[in-house]
Structure 1
Amino acid sequence: MKEGKSIMKSKKVSIASLLVALGIVYGDIGTSPLYVMNSILSTNKGQVSTDLVLGGISLVIWTLTLQTTIKYVILTLKADNNGEGGIFSLYTLVRKRAKWAIVPAVIGGASLLADGMITPPVTVTSSVEGLQMIFPLSLNMILIIVVSILILLFSFQNCGTMKIGKLFGPIMFLWFSMLAILGISQIINNPQIIKAINPYYGIKLLIENPKSTYILGAVFLCTTGAEALYSDLGHCGRKNIYYTWFFVKVCLILNYLGQGAWLMLREGDVVINNPFFSIMPKWFIVPGVIIATIASIIASQALISGAFSLISEAIKLNLFPRLLIKYPNEEKGQIYIPVINFTLGIGCILLVLYFKKSENMEAAYGLAITVTMLMTTILLSQYEKYNNRKATRSVLVLIVFGIIELSFLYANLSKFFRGGYITVLIGFIIMFVMYSWVYGLKIKERYNHFTKLSKYKDRFKSIIEDTTLPLYSTHLVYLTQTSTRGYIEDNILYSIFNKSPKRAKFYWFVNVRVTDEPYTMSYKVHTIIPNQIFKIEFELGFKVNQTVNIFLREVIEELISTEELKITLKEYMIDNNLEKNVGDFKFVLLEENLSNESNLSKWDSFIIGFKILIKKITVSPAKRFGIDTSIVEVEKVPIIIGKRKKVKLTRIK
């Protein structure tokens, strides 16, 4: 296996790639006009006032500018890990110099995943409810339509985000063009709305309005998709996001201004219908609602593909339990995780059935993502400090965006008892799973015992020459957790010599180390006993599919070609190609079980037990490392942590 390049080339910019970016990245933030102005009006019970409209839209424009454009598009997208984005990629860039960064990374990642469950329900439901302006649909009929759409959406994910992007891209281009045209048609009727660009009106509203906290919570909904934009960096590439964001932002602002222009002509009125659908000409309501419904379906894609990226990175960084990851096509960054797709799908359907109406979902929407944005700000400030060596900018990032996001967090806390507790609860469950996984690893590392292989050279020689033992396999392979040269776990040695002595011609001890770069593919060979015992250390990027048995076979073929490994062909072999006939393999995987003899605190024992339970219900090590199950032997070993308690027995004569 040749050493792979760790630097990912930037994705080329073309009309097709720009359309893919529109289809994947902007679904969430692009459909915010469906509910933001309606949510702002609801803080005043639907009654229109010029101050509320001008101030609300001013806050929306400057939130999009400060949070999305400056923080994410200009600053955060540059903090990429060889083309990969997301909070865990940002964490990998700073973790060597800020070990405590794991805390905001785990909190932020869990919060983003929790928010990902509420995004599809709120966007799809709010658009489908627009059909009520045309057809007399009951609540149950709305729920049936929404659930059916979500089932269809999650069933489509195994095709890969590239195919999805190609399909959704043109539709999103049509959607954003529609937003701009509808907005311009209303701005022409009331050009005074242009004043909302002045931040004065937003600041004035926050200072003078007694419900400013609720207004700020509604305004925040306009930028909830910004974090997904960063997570989807690996799917589309930075330049494609740069170029498309200018178009997207202009279209969004024009539509918000258009809704505001329409509302300002109705000063003092109580608006019942959603302003987004109200600004449409009557003849366009039917196609407009249909396009909005399709766009809201696409809106869910940004969070779904972002969730796949986040979980994949967390798994490779040992922050999350091992799950089966599939790669739908050869394009880097295109991944699909069946368990996550199923979990998100079921979660979204349950939330729709629980909240029933979009206005109820809006009350819960945004609280979790505010926490994610705040955690990203903390990590970004460290990136500026350590990686860019710009201490002043680091402080500015922390202060400016920290104040903005703490304000939004304070405003969104009012949503906690109105439904926000659901996403917070989901976030805590995800955080606990991640905490258990990470802390469980630390407990094991604390008590793990490793032995130098060279001390057992004589024993290996004896077992290899012991013809009374049947040949277990030509190549016997164990996976080891330590990368220390020449060392392996005691329980592996016990498995070879004691539990069930295993004679083989060649012993291979394989360690897989995940690097901070996404696509590294390299290895080292340590020869313990020439032509008999080897330790292989693979260094694989956190985006690389870990097909260990394929990699190992390639390593062996190369060792044969360099004559570091000598294999004698048998006369009866059909193919005389030495490098292809490397012999049979047997992988022995040790399955851990917590022993009753372990001396642990109740909490540590619970965490280790919970971690083992997770491992049993998630993907097996064989599937995780891409090993052919026909050559795998699973052997159970007890985990005995701490010193055994001495037991005194009395002998009775």
Structure 2
Amino acid sequence: MKKKISIASLLVALGIVYGDIGTSPLYVVKSLIGVNDGLITKDIVYDGISLVFWTLTLQTTIKYVILTLQADNKGEGGIFSLYTLLRKRGKWLIIPAVIGGASLLADGMITPPITVTTAIEGLSLVVDLKQATTVSIVVIILTFLFLLQRFGTDFIGKIFGPMMFIWFTMLAILGVSQIVHYKEIFAAINPYYGIKLFLNSPKSVYLLGAVFLCTTGAEALYSDLGHCGRKNIHYTWIYVKTCLLLNYFGQGAYLMTREGQVIKENPFFLIMPDWFVLPGIIIATAAAIIASQALISGSFTLVSEAIKLNIFPKLQVRFPNEDKGKLYVPFINWILYIGCVILVVSFKESSNMEAAYGLAITITMLMTTILLSQYIKFNKNKPILSKVILIVFGTIEISFLYANLFKFTHGGYMTILISSMLVFLMYIWMQGTKIKQRYTQWVKLSDYKEQLRSLKEDSTVPLFCTNLVYLSDAKIDGDIESKIIYSIFNKQPKKAKYYWFVNIKVTDEPYTKEYSVETIVPNEAYVINFRLGFRVDQKINEFLSQIIQDLIQNKEIEISPKKYWMNYENRVTVGDFKFVMLEETLPNNTNLSKWDNFIISVKLLIKHFTISQAKWYGIDTSVISVEKVPVIIGSYSNEKLKRIS
């Protein structure tokens, strides 16, 4: 899906994509000098700024902006979108996709707290701000931000875009104002300083952990590809990176003019003129609010794609705008909000959050590198480049991961714990589906033509409805679950004039909308096979109505309208509909292993907290009949009773 380039689209990209990576100057340099307890030395400044420059160049620019954004799926980005381009290449690829997606979602909980808290703490330069007051202000701001999500990212981007333009311009101006006093800081571009750090500095690991914070938003940048478009990101990144680097070098220049001093305050606010401190803090606070948006909107995209790929429980997905690339997932929005509030209340200060920040996202980046290398190898047919990408970026990210592992006991365990829980959730969902498919009994629908005719002709059975619809998970055309046949003929014979068996297949493309029709019994029983993209809203009720109209126009189905039937929107009415939903239960008398039984039990428990099939498929609840059926798994006991006199 192409996005047109305009001033408005560029501003929207600024407002949505760069919040996280764009506010990194708020805490990166502060974290760097914190490694040395605030003592300013040339080695700390030059080595740190050099690593920031090359990290933004190699990791963000080359890996993500140039290479990874090329791996788009019809305009969509993100680790799950990348996985859909590769899943036919190997079953093992689901592992890095799930781990990476879970880690990104977990990291989305700490990005808003650290950015907003850092900005609000700047007020301490102007007023005496108590810790409890800071925490309260941050919670209020986060509440406002998450409440705003329901209006959609298009609305948010139009509001935030101009503000981020002001923010980046401010970064550049502040940086230049300090660079003019110490132009020698540009020598830090020499990679020698970064390499020297690894060879000589005993604090290299801790510095590397601080440096990594400058690129944490790169993964969200890829996830937000569908919201803004590749070209919009390409063009805006040139401006964004320039402003970021000018500010980093500016902070470095400021520190070098104070070499030998101990600085405990945040250098970002110290480089501001006294008269600009308060306006600067206000702008920084606004940017910090926006900073959370990249991870939040990226999280919505990831979850929506995971749901359609059936590796995540079904949740309600809303589309506040006409553009399907911009969506809102209420459940994820409020889970992120609750997580953010808990982290703010727990850590209280940004310095404490810095110790926990970055560990989970490092894992995501490493997983993306694995998938990207496979994409380059198979989809682009460039095996040598694939190995280069895996070795170069794999080495960089393993180094960052090693450095960030030291954060585990200082709070990093929280994001790892959250990501582990998400991985377990997705494992349960996928494995439960596999177990169910392994033991589900399939039959050929064509074998039941005579039974369908007999049921239709049986005058003792009342008409259940005109159109009877079942949803099937069949992978092979013509197959259907035996439980559906049992529901029609045995549980309560359901006579209908027309039978519709609907099968939905999610394609690797995001916006596919195709269908095919298989006639089982002419003018009586049909199989509808949908091929829908992983970003398409599955409104089966509407789609089925359109298909029936097509069949009527093509004279594939004969309708004898009743005189009292009313046309709606010039469509031929085909009578009433009844959707039979088969709600699965786990019987006690199965010979499942304890582990499989546990997985199925947990999956069925999770289903109680997810959106119903009716809401997911856009079906009117008044036309639904729910039947409880056992999950057909395992084998039932063959024990028999002995009759006695």
TM-score range for the pair, normalised by the shorter chain length? over 0.9
8 A Cα contact 1:262 1:279, kept in partner:
yes
The one-letter amino acid of 1:239's match is K
What is the CA distance between 1:467 and its match in structure 2?
Answer: 2.2
Unaligned runs of 5+ in 2: none
Find the partner of 1:251 among 226, 243, 256: 243
The 1:225/1:556 distance shift into structure 2, 3 A limit, reads: same
SS class of match (1:582): coil
8 A Cα contact 2:440 2:632, kept in partner:
no
SS class of match (2:89): coil
Find the partner of 1:78 among 48, 57, 70: 70
Find the partner of 1:328 among 311, 320, 325: 320
Q: Which moved more, 1:325-334 or 1:372-381?
A: 325-334
CA–CA separation in structure 2 for the residues paired with 1:431 and 1:117: 16
Find the partner of 1:456 among 443, 448, 451: 448
Q: Which moved more, 1:410-419 or 1:190-199?
A: 190-199
The 5 A counterparts of 1:355-434 are 355-434=347-426
Find the partner of 2:18 among 21, 26, 38: 26
The one-letter amino acid of 1:631's match is V
Unaligned runs of 5+ in 1: 1-7
Find the partner of 1:58 among 50, 59, 66: 50
The one-letter amino acid of 1:151's match is T
Specify the alignment match of 1:571 in structure 2: 563
What is the CA distance between 1:646 and its match in structure 2?
Answer: 2.4
The one-letter amino acid of 1:624's match is W
The 1:135/1:645 distance shift into structure 2, 3 A limit, reads: same
CA–CA separation in structure 2 for the residues paired with 1:598 and 1:247: 62
The 5 A counterparts of 1:531-610 are 531-575=523-567, 579-610=571-602
What is the CA distance between 1:396 and its match in structure 2?
Answer: 0.2
Find the partner of 1:645 among 627, 637, 642: 637
Specify the alignment match of 1:276 in structure 2: 268
Specify the alignment match of 2:519 in structure 1: 527
8 A Cα contact 1:522 1:539, kept in partner:
yes
- 2:6 is equivalent to residue 14 of structure 1: yes
The 1:25/1:575 distance shift into structure 2, 3 A limit, reads: closer
What is the CA distance between 1:89 and its match in structure 2?
Answer: 0.7
Specify the alignment match of 1:104 in structure 2: 96
8 A Cα contact 1:85 1:230, kept in partner:
yes
Q: Which moved more, 1:183-192 or 1:196-205?
A: 196-205
8 A Cα contact 1:115 1:366, kept in partner:
yes
Specify the alignment match of 2:31 in structure 1: 39
CA–CA separation in structure 1 for the residues paired with 2:565 and 2:296: 50
SS class of match (2:584): strand
What is the CA distance between 1:208 and its match in structure 2?
Answer: 1.1
What is the CA distance between 1:578 and its match in structure 2?
Answer: 8.4
What is the CA distance between 1:651 and its match in structure 2?
Answer: 3.9
Find the partner of 1:229 among 203, 217, 221: 221
- 2:622 is equivalent to residue 625 of structure 1: no
The 1:578/1:197 distance shift into structure 2, 3 A limit, reads: closer
CA–CA separation in structure 1 for the residues paired with 2:203 and 2:475: 58
In the TM superposition, what whole-angstrom CA distance separates every residue of 1:48-94 from its partner, at most 9, and x where no partner exists?
Answer: 10111011000000000000000000000000000000000110111
CA–CA separation in structure 2 for the residues paired with 1:218 and 1:226: 16
The 1:577/1:241 distance shift into structure 2, 3 A limit, reads: closer
CA–CA separation in structure 2 for the residues paired with 1:556 and 1:450: 26
What is the CA distance between 1:652 and its match in structure 2?
Answer: 4.1
CA–CA separation in structure 2 for the residues paired with 1:479 and 1:332: 25
CA–CA separation in structure 2 for the residues paired with 1:421 and 1:548: 42
CA–CA separation in structure 1 for the residues paired with 2:566 and 2:351: 71
What is the CA distance between 1:107 and its match in structure 2?
Answer: 0.3
8 A Cα contact 2:565 2:575, kept in partner:
no
The one-letter amino acid of 1:442's match is K
What is the CA distance between 1:599 and its match in structure 2?
Answer: 1.3
The 5 A counterparts of 1:45-194 are 45-194=37-186
Task: Provide the identity percentage.
Answer: 64
CA–CA separation in structure 2 for the residues paired with 1:520 and 1:33: 41
What is the CA distance between 1:649 and its match in structure 2?
Answer: 3.5
Q: Which moved more, 1:106-115 or 1:205-214?
A: 205-214
Specify the alignment match of 2:428 in structure 1: 436
8 A Cα contact 1:598 1:639, kept in partner:
no
In the TM superposition, what whole-angstrom CA distance separates every residue of 1:518-566 from its partner, at most 9, and x where no partner exists?
Answer: 0000000000000000000000000100000100010000100111011
What is the CA distance between 1:644 and its match in structure 2?
Answer: 1.1
SS class of match (1:546): coil
CA–CA separation in structure 2 for the residues paired with 1:573 and 1:65: 67
Specify the alignment match of 1:516 in structure 2: 508
Find the partner of 1:315 among 303, 307, 310: 307
CA–CA separation in structure 1 for the residues paired with 2:489 and 2:270: 78
CA–CA separation in structure 1 for the residues paired with 2:170 and 2:20: 16
CA–CA separation in structure 2 for the residues paired with 1:571 and 1:235: 49
What is the CA distance between 1:96 and its match in structure 2?
Answer: 0.6
CA–CA separation in structure 2 for the residues paired with 1:477 and 1:200: 69
The one-letter amino acid of 2:192's match is Y
- 2:432 is equivalent to residue 475 of structure 1: no
CA–CA separation in structure 1 for the residues paired with 2:215 and 2:387: 23
Find the partner of 1:242 among 234, 241, 245: 234
What is the CA distance between 1:575 and its match in structure 2?
Answer: 4.1
CA–CA separation in structure 1 for the residues paired with 2:535 and 2:249: 42
8 A Cα contact 1:175 1:291, kept in partner:
yes
TM-score of the two chains, using structure 2 as the length reference: 0.99
In the TM superposition, what whole-angstrom CA distance separates every residue of 1:621-640 from its partner, at most 9, and x where no partner exists?
Answer: 11111111111111110113
What is the CA distance between 1:616 and its match in structure 2?
Answer: 1.5
SS class of match (2:627): strand
In the TM superposition, what whole-angstrom CA distance separates every residue of 1:295-326 from its partner, at most 9, and x where no partner exists?
Answer: 00000000000000000000111110011110
CA–CA separation in structure 2 for the residues paired with 1:216 and 1:254: 20
In the TM superposition, what whole-angstrom CA distance separates every residue of 1:367-423 from its partner, at most 9, and x where no partner exists?
Answer: 000000000000000000000000110000000000000000000000000000000
The 1:147/1:578 distance shift into structure 2, 3 A limit, reads: closer
What is the CA distance between 1:650 and its match in structure 2?
Answer: 4.2
In the TM superposition, what whole-angstrom CA distance separates every residue of 1:249-303 from its partner, at most 9, and x where no partner exists?
Answer: 0000000000000001111111011000000000000000000001000000000
8 A Cα contact 1:595 1:640, kept in partner:
no
What is the CA distance between 1:574 and its match in structure 2?
Answer: 4.3
In the TM superposition, what whole-angstrom CA distance separates every residue of 1:158-178 from its partner, at most 9, and x where no partner exists?
Answer: 111011001000000000000
The 1:576/1:341 distance shift into structure 2, 3 A limit, reads: closer
SS class of match (1:617): coil
CA–CA separation in structure 2 for the residues paired with 1:228 and 1:396: 24
SS class of match (1:33): helix
CA–CA separation in structure 2 for the residues paired with 1:250 and 1:574: 64
RMSD: 1.1
In the TM superposition, what whole-angstrom CA distance separates every residue of 1:440-497 from its partner, at most 9, and x where no partner exists?
Answer: 1111111111111111111111111122222111000000000422211000011111
The one-letter amino acid of 2:305's match is E
The 1:578/1:129 distance shift into structure 2, 3 A limit, reads: closer
What is the CA distance between 1:577 and its match in structure 2?
Answer: 9.0
In the TM superposition, what whole-angstrom CA distance separates every residue of 1:21-50 from its partner, at most 9, and x where no partner exists?
Answer: 000000000000000001011111111101
